[in-house]
Amino acid sequence: MSRSLIDIRDLSTTEIEELIRTAEDIIADPKKYSEICHGKKLATLFFEPSTRTRLSFEAAMYELGGQVLSMSNAASSSAAKGESVADTAKTVSCYADIIAMRHPKEGAPLVAAMNASIPVINAGDGGHNHPTQTLADLCTISREKGRLDNLTVGLCGDLKFGRTVHSLIEALSRYTGIKFVLISPVELKLPSYVKKDVIQAHGLEYSQTTDLEAVMPELDILYMTRVQRERFFNEEDYLRLKDSYILTPEKLKGAKDDLCIMHPLPRVNEISVAIDDDPRACYFKQVLNGKYMRMALIMKLLEIEV
């Protein structure tokens, strides 16, 4: 079985730091990497609508000089005819060198990795994992703050279903001196097993609040999230909770000058556009860093060295 990335815990902190270093080197000298994946093919298997993640993977492969095989949409795929994930993975292994898979069912990319003969990257499996988003987040924190330890990290919005939040907590919990500030409506609180099995298991501090402005002055990082309609079984609950937190310039008044405002995007209205020109807004940098980290990851899993 090839090495795959299904969960951020599949990578050690040393490997994550190596990926960040590779990403920084790509940023410094993109030409050095522009043909490094020549002759290699990435298959993007997206069984759930996604624009940015798929485009990010495809841009990453093209910028490495590789090629991309892609299906136009999930409705026209063999999965719509009832093909299993295992069979799809075995079939695509005959065509491509690496797979990036998004699937609405949790665990589908793991099934693909168990059956493919090529590396599989989880590009999001329902509300479960999205490790390349976490790589983008870690790269952004590292580049903006110069470190991944000793930070007070505010996580705001949907902490219950937000997979990016859970993965980021998993990843940052392996560093020392991290303090999490969990800001959410009561109904969307971080699940207790994440608090117990991850944050407390690593001996880290956390606090919980519903009041974003009250905790703003202590934050080094503010990670905003969207309340996602597709994670709710009940439309009423979604409508009631979707506008719980909207970040505006007024709410930033007490914030540190070097606060780093992040969001996995797409945003709906959680961050006012008036904040986009604030130097503390890092969410579009996150998008760019995501592409560089995906480039570094593709190289790593294909075992290509410069």
Partner 1 sequence: MHVDSINNGIVIDHITAGKGLQLYNLLGLELQDCTIAIIKNVASRKMGRKDIIKIDADISVNTDILGYVDPGVTVNIIKGGEIVEKKNISLPNKLVNVIFCKNPRCITSTEQELSQIFNLTNEKNRVYRCAYCEAKFEEK
Report whether 302 contacts 97 (CB < 8 A).
Answer: yes
| Residue of 5, 37, 85, 299 interacting with partner 1 (CB under 8 A) | 85
Q: Is 127 among the residues that bind partner 1 (CB under 8 A)?
A: yes
Smallest gap from residue 111 Cβ to partner 1 (A): 6
Q: Is 261 among the residues that bind partner 1 (CB under 8 A)?
A: no
Report whether 42 contacts 96 (CB < 8 A).
Answer: yes
Smallest gap from residue 165 Cβ to partner 1 (A): 15
Smallest gap from residue 2 Cβ to partner 1 (A): 19
Q: Is 108 among the residues that bind partner 1 (CB under 8 A)?
A: yes
52, 259, 302 from 10: Cα distances, Å? 23, 29, 16
| Residue of 119, 124, 126, 157 interacting with partner 1 (CB under 8 A) | 126
Q: Is 147 among the residues that bind partner 1 (CB under 8 A)?
A: no
Whether omega before 109 lies within 30 degrees of 0, making that bond cis, reads: no
Q: Is 105 among the residues that bind partner 1 (CB under 8 A)?
A: yes
Q: Is 230 among the residues that bind partner 1 (CB under 8 A)?
A: no
Distance CA 146, CA 175 (A): 14
Distance CA 253, CA 7 (A): 37
Give the residue with the Cβ less far from partner 1, 80 or 274: 80
Q: Is 103 exposed, middle or buried (0-12, 13-18, 19+ CB in 10 A)?
A: buried
Query: Which residues 190-219 are close enough to bind partner 1 by CB under 8 A?
Result: 193, 197
| Residue of 42, 60, 96, 111 interacting with partner 1 (CB under 8 A) | 111
Give the residue with the Cβ less far from partner 1, 74 or 288: 74
Q: Is 128 among the residues that bind partner 1 (CB under 8 A)?
A: yes
Query: Which residues 21-80 are close enough to bind partner 1 by CB under 8 A?
Result: none
Distance CA 276, CA 270 (A): 12
Distance CA 21, CA 43 (A): 25
Give the residue with the Cβ less far from partner 1, 197 or 237: 197
Smallest gap from residue 166 Cβ to partner 1 (A): 10
Give the residue with the Cβ less far from partner 1, 126 or 157: 126
Distance CA 137, CA 264 (A): 8
AA identity, residue 5: L
Give the residue with the Cβ less far from partner 1, 38 or 196: 196
Report whether 175 contacts 202 (CB < 8 A).
Answer: no
Distance CA 221, CA 156 (A): 11
Where does this chain bind partner 1 (CB under 8 A)?
84-86, 103-108, 110-111, 125-128, 193, 197
